A and B are shown apart, each in its own frame.
Chain A
């Protein structure tokens, strides 16, 4: 069964203090690993897809990387508006395959 574990559960950073979120996974036949951002009461917002080990994607202050066992979401010089829950999910190969999510990392960025 596919499994995703995220750490830490919660992270509090000061504005400008860079850090990384971890996502460890086991999946039979990885099609892709996905990062989402979710604000309270709202739908997950798509950030990145990573398909193979060694791949990296960047968007503003965020950078996602992938190995065969884990993915990292690096946040450089965060701002208060980056505060949210960051979800990692994996998808196995197959038509219309589900996403299996981790429990997320709640990030709070303070001034």
Chain B
């Protein structure tokens, strides 16, 4: 079965640089979520989109922005990177709104390292 695709899988950036993470949801899933997971921590919600509109927002820094495109893929843009941004970034998708099911399926993640 198709899964959530994230790219790149690994990314190394220097402080103050920018990074763009991409997410391709499972086909026919209309909702995308972004989470950040630091070492030894649980995933923390950043932002979500439903039908290409921002829906819910968590503790996402102002330096970060995201959007969902017409083909439902999503991008997380991160600017002025800080050492503390080093983490695993997960994208998840769900079929909310089309099937009444709400489980979120996670991608393999992008490991961001800021040096």
Contacts and interface: CB of A to CB of B under 8 A. Distances in A.
Interface in B35-63: 35, 41-45, 48-50, 55-56, 58
B33 to A, nearest CB: 7
Contacts of A102: 42
Contacts, number: 68
Interface size classification for chain A: 20 to 34
Contacts of A25: none
A101 B37 CA distance: 11
- Name the prevailing secondary structure of the A interface residues: loop
Given A94-B56, A96-B49, A98-B33, A34 B42 contact: no
- Name the prevailing secondary structure of the B interface residues: strand
B111 interface: yes
Interface of A: 31-32, 34, 36, 41-46, 49, 87, 91, 94-104
Interface of B: 4, 31, 33, 35, 41-45, 48-50, 55-56, 58, 88, 90, 92, 94, 96-97, 101-109, 111
